[in-house]
Structure formats: C-alpha cells, structure tokens
A and B are shown apart, each in its own frame.
Chain A
Amino acid sequence: QGHLQESGPGLVKPSETLSLTCTVSGGSVRSGSYYWSWIRQPPGKGLEWIGNIHYSGRTNYNASLKSRVTTSVDTSKNQFSLELSSVTAADTAVYYCARANYFYYYMDLWGEGTTVTVSS
C-alpha cells in the first residue's frame, strides 16, 4: 500500500526558501507508474495543487507558483522534495505530499501533512 511522510522546518522567515522532503516507504520512488505530488492547504481554505515530478525528471507545476517552485527526486533515499522560494505569509499552509497515477493524475496515497508557518 505504501506510506508517505513529510518532513521539514515548521517555521520559515519571509523572503526565505521553504524546503520539504517526502519519504516514501512500502514502494519505490523509481516506479514509472506514479508522479510524486505536492499539495497545500492554507488555514481554513481548500486544497491547492503545487506540482508533481516523475522520477525521470518530468514535471508539471501550478502556473501561479511555477516561478518559485523546484522539485526533485532522490532515488538513493527514496525521497522527493519541494523548494518554494521567496515565501510570504500567504505561503503559510499545511503541505501534503501525495502519490499520483502517472496516466490520470489522481492522488491515491497522501502523507499526513506538515504545517509550515511563514513569519519573522
């Protein structure tokens, strides 16, 4: 079935870079059947898709965030990562990592989420 776990700082200063990692267990990040995704949820609001990455390096991003987002896959650690640069208070949210079907993109496995607050 698999398990995903997000990790990273819970507090980031404005203008700095938010960095999160998702560790994959019970499966391989090298699987060609999945994209590895990031989604966030600001307090009291709905889900916002950030983007996804395939282990081959293929990526898709939310146009509104694309200029600030970088994703990567580390096959040696079975992890994938998110970097969001030049953060502001509007980037405060619960960040989820998820596994997405390669062909149809639905997300069938989610991490529990990690709260990131942007504040000085």
Chain B
Amino acid sequence: QSVLTQPPSVSAAPGQKVTISCSGSSSNIGNNYVSWYQQLPGTAPKLLIYDNDKRPSGIPDRFSGSKSGTSATLGITGLQTGDEADYYCGSWDSSLSAWAFGGGTKLTVL
C-alpha cells in the first residue's frame, strides 16, 4: 500500500486535457514538495515536475503541477498519443524519513 494515493488509470481523447491526482498526508505532501515522473513503456522514469509546479528544462508547458493542502495534481493539456505512459507522484515523508512514490497512474490517450 503506497503512502501516496493515485488513481490506477485515466483516459482522454487526443487534444483534450487530463488531470491526475495524488493524495497524501501532512507528513508528506502537506509539508514537503511534490514531484512527478513520466515513465514511457519500456523506459526509465523521467522527471516531469519538481517543487510542486516547476518544469525541468525541455519539458513542454503542456505539463503543469499544483498542490493544495495534502493533495497534488498533474495536468496535461493538448494530449498526444505520445503522452501514453505511467505517471508517478513522489514526496519526502518526514515521519518515515523516506521518499514515497504514489502507486502510479496509467494514462491512455484514446
């Protein structure tokens, strides 16, 4: 059971917008930064969002992150078939003194 909770799957049509939620607690998301990772099929994860809402160089602005209280959200606009991937949220858990990943969300672009 993951410390951070994500929906197992989401889907949307090409060109549409989708959001992926990540729910935690005061010991992780509530008091620490959230990051998001994209894992394309058969590849290593890649950092998509860090510090709740910052994008690394090279990540298009179609990807956005936000945080409110003990939950965080990844938004993807202008969906493309190439966005089909597993998406993971992550945050430091101060009670556990350990990093926590969400269980992952599989995005399907219909």
B60 at interface, CB cutoff 8 A: no
Write out the residue numbers on chain B whose beta carbons fall within 8 Å of the beta carbon of A39: 45, 101
A81 at interface, CB cutoff 8 A: no
B18 at interface, CB cutoff 8 A: no
- Please give 18 more A-B residue pairs, beta carbons under 8 A apart, in addition to A51-B98, A107-B45, A112-B44: A39-B101, A46-B102, A46-B104, A47-B45, A47-B101, A47-B104, A48-B101, A49-B90, A60-B98, A60-B99, A63-B96, A104-B32, A104-B33, A106-B47, A106-B50, A107-B47, A107-B90, A110-B44
Number of interface residues of B (CB under 8 A): 27
Write out the residue numbers on chain A whose beta carbons fall within 8 Å of the beta carbon of B39: 47
B47 touches A108 (CB 8 A): yes
B45 touches A106 (CB 8 A): no
Number of interface residues of A (CB under 8 A): 25
Write out the residue numbers on chain B whose beta carbons fall within 8 Å of the beta carbon of A60: 97-99
Knowing A47-B104, A104-B33, say if A110 contacts B99 (CB, 8 Å).
no
Closest to A48 in B: B101
A49 touches B98 (CB 8 A): yes
SS of A interface (majority): strand
Write out the residue numbers on chain A whose beta carbons fall within 8 Å of the beta carbon of B73: none
B92 at interface, CB cutoff 8 A: yes
Closest to A46 in B: B104
Report the minimum CB–CB distance from A36 to chain B (whole Å).
13
Write out the residue numbers on chain B whose beta carbons fall within 8 Å of the beta carbon of A107: 35, 37, 45, 47, 90
Q: Top 10 closest A-B pairs, CB basis? A: A106-B35, A46-B104, A49-B99, A106-B50, A110-B44, A47-B101, A105-B92, A108-B47, A104-B33, A46-B103
Q: Which of B40-54 contact A (CB under 8 A)?
A: 43-47, 50-51
Q: Which of B54-110 contact A (CB under 8 A)?
A: 56, 86, 88, 90, 92, 96-104
Closest to A110 in B: B44
A104 touches B98 (CB 8 A): no
Closest to B90 in A: A106
